[in-house]
């Protein structure tokens, strides 16, 4: 695999979006450069590098250039897509939060995998959704971090539940320092 720099990837994506996977497209290095926020000269150099690595084909007619992504170039795009998909859709390591009991610990959990219980109604009352994340408090107590659609607290407060009385088991008092590790659910 040739060493692709971000500029190469941006150019390949621009070309792909303009239909250069199957057909030669006519484009100027100036317009392509504007799209990737680089000068015309730098864009010309990037195109030359892509061509030399067999990722694109270029046809020159005067100042006009027609470009097509080669099969090798398209394979590189697919490889990058696969890497991005696997990394964006997977939590690769535990997430650790540190704070104090009844203290703000702001964290976005919406992107993490968790167990979601959808909202429901019993006919008299509507209950909001709950999302649970396996966690460990102070590296010793298994618990669940819960995010609630409806809560009395703002997003600076997180809530934990456990089979054990967490405060008692961890000997916690107000302002005790804690570490909460959210573990992978894959």
CATH code of the domain containing 47: 1.10.10.10
pLDDT of residue 107: 44
Q: Are 15 and 83 in the same domain? A: yes
CATH code of the domain containing 156: 2.40.30.30
User: Is 46 contained in some domain?
Assistant: yes
Q: Are 119 and 77 in the same domain? A: no
Overall domain count for the chain? 2
User: Is 101 contained in some domain?
Assistant: yes
Q: Are 115 and 176 in the same domain? A: yes
Q: Are 117 and 177 in the same domain? A: yes
Which of 32, 66, 88 terminates a domain? The answer is: 88
Closest CA relative to residue 8, chosen from 87, 67, 85, 89: 67
Task: Give the chain's residues under pLDDT 50.
Answer: 1, 103-108
Closest CA relative to residue 160, chosen from 118, 93, 102: 102
Q: Are 33 and 67 in the same domain? A: yes
Which of 88, 104, 136 terminates a domain? The answer is: 88
Residue 10: which domain range? 6-88
Q: Are 53 and 111 in the same domain? A: no
Beta-carbon contacts of residue 45 (< 8 Å; ≥ 6 apart): none
User: Is 74 contained in some domain?
Assistant: yes
User: Is 1 contained in some domain?
Assistant: no
How confident is the model over 94-117, as pLDDT tens digits? 666 666 665 434 344 555 567 778
User: Is 33 contained in some domain?
Assistant: yes
pLDDT of residue 95: 66
User: Is 136 contained in some domain?
Assistant: yes
Q: Are 75 and 123 in the same domain? A: no
pLDDT of residue 105: 40
Closest CA relative to residue 55, chosen from 64, 46, 42: 46
């Amino acid at each position: 695999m040739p060493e692709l720099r971000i500029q190469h990837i941006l150019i390949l994506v621009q070309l792909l979006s303009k239909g250069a996977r199957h057909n030669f497209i006519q484009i100027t290095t100036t317009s392509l450069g504007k799209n990737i926020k680089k000068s015309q000269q730098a864009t010309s150099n990037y195109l030359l590098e892509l061509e030399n690595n067999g990722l694109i084909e270029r046809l020159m007619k005067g100042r006009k250039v027609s470009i097509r992504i080669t099969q090798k170039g398209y394979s590189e795009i697919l490889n990058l897509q696969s890497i991005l998909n696997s990394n964006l859709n997977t939590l690769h390591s535990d997430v650790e939060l540190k704070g104090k009991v009844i203290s703000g610990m702001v964290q976005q959990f919406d992107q993490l995998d968790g167990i979601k219980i959808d909202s429901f109604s019993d006919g008299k009352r509507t209950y909001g959704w709950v999302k649970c994340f396996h966690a460990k408090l102070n590296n010793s107590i298994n618990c669940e971090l819960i995010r609630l659609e409806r809560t009395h607290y703002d997003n600076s407060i997180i809530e934990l539940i456990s089979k054990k009385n967490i405060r008692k088991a961890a000997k916690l008092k107000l302002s005790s320092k804690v570490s909460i590790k959210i573990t992978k659910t894959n």
